Amino acid sequence: MGEMIVSFDGTNLYLNKETVPGARAAAVIVHGLCEHQGRYDYMAELFHKEGISTYRFDHRGHGRSEGERTFYTTFHELLDDTNVVVDMAIAENPDIPVFLIGHSMGGFTVSLYGAKYPDKKLRGIITSGALTHDHKGTISSLPDGMDVHMRLPNQLGSAVCSVAEVVEWYGKDPYNTDSYTPGLCYALKDGLAWFKDHVNEFAYPVLMLHGEKDGLVDVQDTYDFFKEATVKDKQMKIYGNLFHEIFNEYCRDEVIGDALSWIQNRIG
């Protein structure tokens, strides 16, 4: 059942916490731009079947959380909101490992989180289609000096997935957002510059996943992050022919299964 929790600055965030009796681990799942936590229902179900509790929240300005729609003042809001949920998951599960998983903008978030919060007791981080360099220019191509509160149309839909039903429902989902702000883009752009200087502080075991034909976040972002990460326990898997949302693609069971296997190998 969903609930509202108070983030670090008083913003109310929508949290969907699903705990499994006798859980072997817990995972905090972080969604991407213009979407919401509910798009990870299927993934969460598979986690629950494997004895892993899930904590999913809507980013501020997304879904059912408070905040100006798809707007950030600073990229640190993404990291610090996530930290509130991570702290909760760790506090409520003191005897089992906690993992952090993020897709797209959520992948950006968990990657930077690993550098900003290197002292947390996470067992590992998984990234999916993570924006870590913006080789595609999706964010960095926006001109400087725009009104940070103006609305830009969300044209991501057709590129999110090769599965037609997923694309169709993406446009109909009432909790998705049909626009975003320059303020969000500028915040992410600042975050990418910050990460460039702090990537060597990323301190967690990491699994990096990406679709080869991702048209929104170039697979080169993950290649570069993998090369730059100095942690010893790092793995990368690139899925041939898959688009951006690899957790929703036609072989999603294989992709989610890879994430679960990686987690299970680090629970012991």
- Report pLDDT for 268: 72
- Report pLDDT for 195: 98
- Report pLDDT for 157: 58
Q: Is the pLDDT of residue 155 over 80?
A: no
Query: Which CATH number goes with the domain that contains 37?
Result: 3.40.50.1820
Instruction: Please give the tally of structural domains in the chain.
Output: 1
- Report pLDDT for 158: 63
For residues 232-250, average pLDDT: 96
- Report pLDDT for 142: 93
- Report pLDDT for 29: 98
Q: pLDDT for 75-133, tens place per residue?
A: 999 999 999 999 999 999 999 999 999 999 999 999 999 999 998 889 999 999 999 99
- With helix as H, strand as E and coil as C, how does the chain read? CEEEEECCCCCEEEEEEECCCCCCEEEEEECCCCCCHHHHHHHHHHHHHCCEEEEEECCCCCCCCCCCCCCCCCCHHHHHHHHHHHHHHHHHCCCCCEEEEEECHHHHHHHHHHHHCCCCCEEEEEEECCCCCCCCCCCCCCCCCCCCCCCEECCCHHHCCCCHHHHHHHHHCCCCCCEECHHHHHHHHHHHHHHHHHHHHCCCCEEEEEECCCCCCCHHHHHHHHHHCCCCCEEEEEECCCCCCCCCCCCHHHHHHHHHHHHHCCCC
For residue 219, what are the domain limits?
Answer: 2-264
pTM score of the predicted model = 0.96
